Structure 1
Amino acid sequence: MSTHVVAFAGEGGGEGPLSWGQIDIWVKMAAFGQALAMGGTRPLPEGATVEDVEDELRYLMSRYQTFRTRLAFDADGWPSQVVHERGEIGLEVVDAGDEDPAEVAAAVEARFRDSDWDHAAEWPVRMAVIRHDGRPVHATLIVSHITMDGAGAALMMQESAGRSTESVSGALPLEQARKQATPAVRRQHEAAMRHWEGHLRAIPVPAVRPSRDPRSPRHWTGLFRSAALPGALRAAAGREGLDSAPALLAAFAMAFARIAGPAVVPLRLTVGNRFRPGLAGTVCPVSQAGLCVVDTTGDFPQVLRRAHGAALAAYKHAYYDRRDLDRMLAAVAAERGPEVLLDVSLNDRRGGAGQDAAAPERSSFEWLSAADGESSAFFLNVDGSDEAVAITLYLDSHFMAPDDAEALLWAMEDIALQSAAN
């Protein structure tokens, strides 16, 4: 292995506090003890050179301020951001030798993801090119989550593929942080706090059935694939003049109530926030969780209409300083019990940052991996299109038995199909 030094220079630099999106990601990274790294490995076209990959890395570092941002820490260990206008970064060049280059690339990707990240001393970007018989065949790019969220990643890939030279649009984190200190934006924050606190003090405390099967390793990842679910959601939602997003939410909430117990379900929706002024087209983290309380009593059309209204309220109130939210949540939990803070999340990435799902012949579920360490209690990423969905489940088996979590996903599909047929 060798390292090629790539110099870069871009517009904009300076120091300042983290933006709300960066704060949100940093709190999660600290809680999970990892960089929550994003990215992956792709094959290179015939004739690609190491210089081509160097040019790509230079483009990324020059264009995106968050790629050339390091963190500085105060005496209490809290970070601020330092954006550099220029610098150098290493590109690893790895020769596969007699090994399978795809396996070598996978090992490089795993090393990039799992090695400790020093956000003060290194760039939040790791890239390598893997050669076979002297020819570059794979490129691996892994970035810390502090650089961007899923929607930002989708935009970055689109711009990078075309080497866009248009001016970067949207407020970047330094500017966002300045605006977030102004009275107008602080009022949005205060409204979000009222939304969260008001719901969490008013709802019945969720009585979730205890896990029947707490396992070791504790945290499980599974994948549900369905070609039937998208059409059923569209059909059920269309009768109410809505799209499939609230239908997915309603089906999930009803399935959760069926399997776990509580009729009123406080879910955390991942909200992209790029509909807010100045945030469209920006490659940085701006997504945050919105609290969405869904009453699942009644038939599907009733729950669907409630879910639609609850989702709109969640979207409106998903822009805030995470530190204040956490303090408020701790106060509510101290009074009502920690059970009121249900750690159940839904991230509907269809048509956005998520990947299209290949249509399976029939619906299927499989467990992909299990590991210890910190993770969410129950988190769904939903990817796909009008033809098929792929739902990735991240589960704490001490929160819900894996068999029950699998049954919940099948129940989602069953609820949607029955609602579409009625």
Structure 2
Amino acid sequence: MSYAKQKLKEEKVFKDPVHRYVHVRDVVIWDLIGTKEFQRLRRIRQLGTTYFTFHGAEHSRFNHSLGVYEIVRRIVDDIFRGRPEWNAEERLVSLCAALLHDVGHGPFSHSFEKVFGLDHEEYTKRIVLGDTDINRVLSKVSEDFPEQVAAVINKTYPNKLVVSLISSQIDADRMDYLQRDAYYTGVSYGHFDMERILRVIRPRAEQAVFKLSGMHAVEDYIMSRYQMYWQIYFHPVTRSAEVLLSKTLHRAKELYEQSYSFRQKPVHFASLFEGDCSLEEYVNLDESVVMFYFHVWQEEEDEILKDLCSRFMNRNLFKYIEFDPAAEQEKYAELEDLFRKAGIDPEYYLVHDSSSDLPYDFYRPGIESERQPIYLLMKDDETLQELSSRSDIVEAISGKRRTDHKLYFPVDVLRDESSNRTVKRRIRNILEIYRK
């Protein structure tokens, strides 16, 4: 029997708080889970710095990746199997892509990427195609199988239906992380009727679609996603922790470029600081490595690096106010000047951060849509209609991008009047105006 079709003698299961069980019968999947690159995901939190806000948010990319795999497994094995629109030969590539879609994430994920100009999708591709244990497992299926899996993840695979299972406006990726993140943060926003959605999902040539009878479950999913982004993912306290993380790494990079003599040399970051991080060096990075450096850098001579690390390690976060520098450029420039006069570096202690989300999008003439719309399958089992044309709830938020601006600063430093008392009072007066 070919490696692609080999089954385990007994089904393996992972106990899971969201799906109850994650089922594995394929030898390929079991072997992929055992690779060092996939096991590394145990050491990458799914929600980065969110644990500073919601203390239960300690779950990992490993948890989430297994969950996405399980949803896709249920779809292709229980719902799509035997339907003429579904090619059973694409089952394994779908399962592997679902399992590996996040394998390229770095420590603290998106915050880490922004600092060093990285792209986790590019590193996912490099891990799948490079000199890795994952590539060796995939290559045992066929010589071109790693390229097929990478193409699904990168959304270049010829069969768009397969791509839509893990990358669309309603996919296994989102269905897992909304429920999983809601569970671990302890909120109710992310819960929706996934069982109903899976009952009404159907394969079509370009993407998975949903029977009209399940429209309300899809509406519920869209609104759950909307609430989770603004109540959890864009929470201002979490963003404050992200600001500290980002500024700490920026400071370390700046000091490295100035040939600063670190007490604890950042050997694991050197290639990142130099802009030439190899795949092996990247895979060796995880959140335990970052936390080690932040811990020891609390003893550094550089006061800024020392302070930022201490704040991050001990959750002494920046405070925030609603403030859009684009609309208040003069006031922002005045604040920067006052911070310098007060002996506080605005580069690290006066930080503007914005969050933006488009909850649902669809094609409109003359406007380029970045996402494939969700389609409903009418009762004749042939006609498709775009979701917002049938749903007043979804139509109300369609194509409407929401953006939120915050200004972060260390309120404890501004309240310390042992020095620069007059300047700090002026800063506090300006900031208080915008707090009201």
Query: Taking structure 2 as the reference length, what is the TM-score of the superposition?
Result: 0.24
| Bigger radius of gyration among the two | 2
Query: Taking structure 1 as the reference length, what is the TM-score of the superposition?
Result: 0.24
Tell me which protein shows more strand as a share of its residues: 1
Choose between structure 1 and 2 for higher RCO, CA contacts under 8 A separated by at least 6 residues.
1
